[in-house]
Structure formats: C-alpha cells, structure tokens
Amino acid sequence: MSKAKNSESKTSMTKRQMIKERRRQQQRRQRLSLIAIVAAVALGIAALLIVPGILEASKPVGEFVRITPTTWPMVKGSALGDPNAPVKIEVWEDFQCPACQTYTREIEPLVIQEYIPTGQVYYIFRQFPFLDDNAATKESDQAANASMCAAEQERFWDYHNILFANWNGENLGAFSNRRLVAFAESLELDMPKFNACFKENRYKAEIAKDLSDGRQAGVQGTPSIFLNGELLTPGRVPQMGDIKRAVEAALAGSGN
C-alpha cells in the first residue's frame, strides 16, 4: 500500500508540475505578444514622426523667384520708421494670404515711400498665421518662423518680399521647410545663425502673441490694417486712398 501511495503522489506532482509549466509557457507567450504589440506601436509612431521628415528632406526645392534686396528706411526687426511717430500703422498678415500678397505688391510700397522717411508713420508687421490651422503641413507657421529669424539679422522685409513673391496657393508646398531655407540662402543671410533659429522655432512665443493680440483687437481675416489702434475699412482691404485719408486726419489731429 505504501508503494502504491508513493506512486500516486509522484504522479500527482508530475501533473501539477506539467500544469505549472504550461501556465508558465502561456504567460511567457502572452508577455512576448505584449512586447511585440508595444514594439509595433512604437515603430508605427516613430514612422509617423520620422517618415514625413524624410519625405520633406527628399523633396526638391525647385525653381523660385529671387528678389533684389533693398534698403529699408529705419528698419528695426519687423517694423519700419520712428517709434515716436504720431501715426502707428499695424498690419496683421498671413504669408499664405492672397489678399496680403496683393496688398504687399500694390499698396504697402506706396505707404512706406510716402510716410516712413518723413517720420510721420511707424509701420509694424504683425504675424497672423491661421491658414494652415487645418492643414497637415504648417506652411503659415513656418513662414512666420523663418521671417522672424530673418528679422534677427534685420532682413525681415527682404524675406517678407521673397515670401510673397513665391506664394502660389495655400498649403501647396511653396513654403516647405527646404524652400524657406533656400530663400534665406538666396538673400545671403548668415545661414548658421538662420538655421539654428529656424530649427529652434525661436520666435514661437512672439508669433503666438501677435496672433492672440490680433484676435483680441478684432482681426478676423488678413490683411487687417489698424491705424492708431483703429481697424481701417472693416470687411475689406483698405486702398491707398483710405490709408492716406486716415493718416492725414490723424496727423491733423495731432497737430502735425
């Protein structure tokens, strides 16, 4: 009887050991499956982050319009003129805005030529990048970023002009990162400084503040032109005649 009991006990232990071993193997397979799933998710996330950058880096810059740099009156960053001038004009723009391109080509040069050298107007560009809010690419934001890096070298206005000279539609690749860098190179900026600034997105906070200030001031579209804090011609882009009348009225009111 003793031998039979010992044999049964050994058999029972062997079965328990087999069950435990099967459980250990099952748990091991489950752990390996979990690790594989986590690794696959991590690789997927990495691909989403890395592949767009690789695709962006592989895109050709292509041909673009080059401009001749000019001499700007009393330039300071993204502003022109005397900060103590009796009239302050602030222009909120998105570099992808077609109406902003028209304003830049047809009206802005007249305002600058007539009022900045005389010390009558302090003219300020404000960033309002909003046309890429629902786009996968952030061309408005990156164009603003690049323009502020050019402003760091007192070349904002040349960079501003080359951006508008190369606009060809919203979120179509005209302001890809590689092209934005190529624009800076064509203007012969200090490229190590520009690249460091651009990659760092150094002026993100300042651009965000312009955007926030514009919304608080009532900007609903671009370009929006304010003269001494008042929005000119709400609902439409002011023409040179509108600006001229408003400037002259402000100068008369200030005794100038």
Indicate which CATH number applies to the domain containing 236. 3.40.30.10
pLDDT in the model for residue 54 = 47
Question: How is residue 32 written in tokens?
Answer: 């390996």
Residue 8 confidence (pLDDT) above 90: no
Domain membership of residue 54 (yes or no) is yes
Q: For tokens 């050994």, what's the residue?
A: 10
Domain identity same for 202 and 89 = yes
For the sheet with 224-227, list strands across it: 75-76, 79-80, 121-127, 87-93, 224-227, 230-231
Domain membership of residue 70 (yes or no) is no
2-11, 13-22, 211-220: range with lowest mean pLDDT: 2-11
pLDDT in the model for residue 173 = 95
Give the pLDDT band (50/70/90) at residue 37. Answer: confident
Give the pLDDT band (50/70/90) at residue 142. Answer: very high
Give the count of domains, the chain. 2
Residue 117 confidence (pLDDT) above 90: yes
Domain membership of residue 167 (yes or no) is yes
The average pLDDT across 204-232 equals 97
Domain assignment of residue 181, given as a range: 75-254
DSSP state of 61: -
Domain membership of residue 232 (yes or no) is yes
pLDDT digits (tens, 9 = 90+) for 55-76: 444 557 889 999 999 999 999 9
For residues 43 and 108, the model is more confident at 108
Domain identity same for 91 and 39 = no
Other beta carbons within 10 angstroms of residue 111's beta carbon come to 21
For residues 187 and 50, the model is more confident at 187
Rounded to whole angstroms, the Cα distance separating 221 from 13 reads 80
pLDDT in the model for residue 226 = 98
pLDDT digits (tens, 9 = 90+) for 74-92: 999 999 999 999 999 999 9
